[in-house]
Structure 1
Amino acid sequence: MNTNSAALATPNPGTTVPAPAALQGLVQRPRNPPSARNAAKLRAPARSDDTPMQDLPLRPHPTEQRTPANTLGVRVAYRDNGDLCLVYALTGALAGIALPAPAAAAFADGLWRHTCFEVFIAADRDAPGYREFNFSPSGEWAVYDFLAYRERDPAFVIAAPPTIETIRHDDRLELQATLPAALLPASVSPGPRLVGLCAVLESADGSMSYRALHHAADRPDFHHRGSFTLELSDPRHHQEQP
């Protein structure tokens, strides 16, 4: 979400939950560990080279007084070639959600003004830069690079477009986005990338709900570095180890 909007309240600190060894580099360290019981069950891509995927629930900001009852979850994993795959699943009555009409798969500004799935990625823990990705159910997408908090990089060039596939059922919408390795922010160290998972849901009445894996401020702000609570290690770095 590329605006000054959004609400994120700092929850009470929780304990780090170690990831199973089978996740091969996918490590989640939320402030409040999400309950697997509430996580949406999402469809994993049918690829033999995928790392295992884990259900991660996106919850509304604690200050929201009106929010759709729909459940929203994400699965995320690297492919062996370094591409990053995300599968968002919105479940519940879709009639109450305003979904953008289908459009050509191309870059579009302002997608966050309507229902939109998002991910923020920082390449290095100690560097201020990060990248924002927006995926619309319409098929449109956007990528923005930031040198620091909300400071856009005017020289940024999109190296390769993401691919988006949307599947809609009566009470379920799935959006799968694949980010080519060349599109991800480059890291100068072998450490994990820091990831913030989030989304904007627009109700049919025009009200907005801001969902995130972790809300780190007292207003919705997906750019807040404290919301980048998921750590993802590029599998290619592990392959390079002796």
Structure 2
Amino acid sequence: MVSAVRASIISRDENWLRLRWRIEGSGKLVVPPFAGRGRADELWRTTCFELFLKPDGGEAYSEFNLSPSERWAAYDFSSHRDGMENRPAPREPDCTMRQGSSFAIFDAAIPAAALPQSDCDAGLTCVLEEEGGIKSFWALCHPQDEPDFHDPACFTARLPARTTS
């Protein structure tokens, strides 16, 4: 049974934002089969990793869904769960999943050109499905009794705008 998840921003450069999730107790984790790169909706219905970015100065935010199947999605919202539109991405994210005997690591690289270009509050989340249809919802913060990754209170990390030299 999944016992812990650690999510982190590994690095950011002029080309990529690199993220990592480490899942402890992943022996019964359901990993979606390889499907090849491409956009897909409803990735959250099984194991899926997500990044939320809310630029300073407004209610609008972006959501990136990343699957071990290599499918992905990116959306823009005008406010909390409202005004959803596909977010353009000039390149596809790169995703890899590695499993050990008691842990798994999911790495993702999102193209820098797909990201907001200002300072952002960030939320790193994941939906994990285990054998038997057991799902757990992981976030840096769960401000409500029921998980809502779109709640701005979940965006507790900070992603500064990339600077050029």
Which TM-score applies when normalising by structure 2?
0.89
Tell me if structure 2 keeps the 8 A contact 1:82–1:236: no
Q: Distance in 1 between matches of 2:116 and 2:162?
A: 15
Q: Which residue of 2 aligns with 1:195?
A: 122
Q: Distance in 1 between matches of 2:87 and 2:69?
A: 24
Superimposed CA distance per residue, residues 83-107 of structure 1 (whole angstroms, 9 cap, x where no aligned partner): 311011112242x222211211211
Q: Distance in 1 between matches of 2:20 and 2:53?
A: 16
Q: Distance in 1 between matches of 2:135 and 2:2?
A: 13
Q: Which residue of 2 aligns with 1:175?
A: 106
Q: Which residue of 2 aligns with 1:128?
A: 59
**Unmatched runs of 5 consecutive residues or more in structure 2:** none
- Alignment pair present for 1:81 and 2:14: yes
| 1:51-130 matched pairs, under 5 angstroms | 68-81=1-14, 83-94=16-27, 96-124=28-56, 126-130=57-61
Superimposed CA distance per residue, residues 120-148 of structure 1 (whole angstroms, 9 cap, x where no aligned partner): 11122x21111111111112111111111
Q: Distance in 1 between matches of 2:86 and 2:140?
A: 30
Cα root mean square deviation, aligned: 1.9
Q: Which residue of 1 aligns with 2:151?
A: 224
User: Cα distance 1:201–1:182, how it changes in 2: closer, same or farther (>3 A)?
Assistant: same
Tell me if structure 2 keeps the 8 A contact 1:139–1:166: no
User: Cα distance 1:233–1:97, how it changes in 2: closer, same or farther (>3 A)?
Assistant: same
Query: 1:155: Cα distance to partner?
Result: 6.6
Tell me if structure 2 keeps the 8 A contact 1:108–1:141: yes
User: Cα distance 1:167–1:110, how it changes in 2: closer, same or farther (>3 A)?
Assistant: same
Q: Distance in 2 between matches of 1:138 and 1:80?
A: 25
Q: Distance in 1 between matches of 2:72 and 2:3?
A: 23
Which one has a bigger Cα radius of gyration? 1
Segment drifting more, 154-163 vs 206-215:
154-163
Query: 1:226: Cα distance to partner?
Result: 0.7
Identity percentage of aligned residues = 35
- The letter of the residue matching 2:36 is A
Whose strand fraction is larger, Structure 1's or Structure 2's?
A: 2
Q: Which residue of 1 aligns with 2:95?
A: 164
- Alignment pair present for 1:151 and 2:82: yes
| Matched positions, count | 165
SS in 2 for 1:236: coil
Q: Distance in 1 between matches of 2:83 and 2:11?
A: 26
Query: 1:82: Cα distance to partner?
Result: 5.8
User: Cα distance 1:166–1:203, how it changes in 2: closer, same or farther (>3 A)?
Assistant: closer
**Unmatched runs of 5 consecutive residues or more in structure 1:** 1-67
Q: Distance in 2 between matches of 1:142 and 1:116?
A: 11
Q: Which residue of 2 aligns with 1:185?
A: 116
- The letter of the residue matching 2:73 is A
- Alignment pair present for 1:209 and 2:140: no
